[in-house]
Structure 1
């Protein structure tokens, strides 16, 4: 393969790899309502009242609907960002200001998604009693410990 084709392939693949790595770093498909931080694992072993279960289920459903509504918009923004990144990377001259603007825009979008997820988690956890929140903290500590063990096993 010629050098120019290799460079072009790398430039095209790089944003895709970065997006995949970012998704893996932040939980991959588990971002939303049913994933690690979505509540089910955190609430494991906690006795919820019927009213609490109903409220949490309603919040999950609301969050799921909101995610569906914003999914297409987020996908379009991500594709536009990737296209802009490729254009900037393939340009004859390095335009630091434009790259900085794009990087800031991408970071801001990620921050907004993270805030939205954390608000949904907060709303769910606010349904709990103080005693139940202590149990959630214990579950979080156990999950962090298991993740650390897995990271040490695979990387250490």
Structure 2
């Protein structure tokens, strides 16, 4: 029963986490002071790393290749997701709950989320390996500063 609970929690939480992470990716949005911002927040960090022209070109090439792959897979992934949702709807609307059938679909969906997450992290790994050791260290420091600033912002909001 513990495995079922863990699988169920992962199946429900992973899409929410990944969905919330990608909600603003590639879109215009406003920061907390109302200014329009482009893209995702990670770009600001890379602009602070003093990349060489060669590094910038390599990053651009990686992003373009990833974008092309993503576009090619988007339609296929969307169709598969619709089929899975329809299957789940049928199972949920059925007179009797078929736990094993739901489990199969939920595990498949979870595995797909894991695969997408691994692919995303592989892409990030490739981009970070373009950096020199000094740039990597600065990247870590900037990420830490951002995390601390975010926590302070959350604390400030929660205390008001």
TM-score range, shorter chain: 0.7 to 0.9
Aligned residue for 2:111, secondary structure, equals helix
Displacement of 1:153: 4.8
Q: How many residues align?
A: 135
Distance 1:22 1:43, change over 3 A: closer
Residue 30 (1) aligns with residue 25 (2): yes
1:26-77: CA deviations, max 9, x gaps?
2314289x534xx513313110111101100100111111110111111112
**Which of 118, 132, 135 is equivalent to 1:132?**
135
Displacement of 1:22: 5.1
Q: Is the contact made by 1:42 and 1:136 (CA closer than 8 Å) also made in structure 2?
A: yes
Length-normalised TM-score, structure 1:
0.76
Correspondences of 1:1-156 after superposition (within 5 Å)? 23-24=19-20, 26-30=21-25, 34-36=39-41, 39-153=42-156
Q: Distance in 2 between matches of 1:133 and 1:83?
A: 45
After superposition, the CA RMSD in angstroms is 2.5
Distance 1:147 1:91, change over 3 A: farther
Distance 1:22 1:58, change over 3 A: closer
Q: Is the contact made by 1:31 and 1:117 (CA closer than 8 Å) also made in structure 2?
A: no
1:72-123: CA deviations, max 9, x gaps?
1111121112111111110111111011111100100101111111111110
1:120-145: CA deviations, max 9, x gaps?
11101100000000111112112322
Q: Distance in 2 between matches of 1:154 and 1:100?
A: 39
Stretches of structure 2 that go unaligned for 5 or more consecutive residues are 1-13, 28-38
Distance 1:70 1:43, change over 3 A: same
Stretches of structure 1 that go unaligned for 5 or more consecutive residues are 1-17
Q: Distance in 1 between matches of 2:19 and 2:158?
A: 19
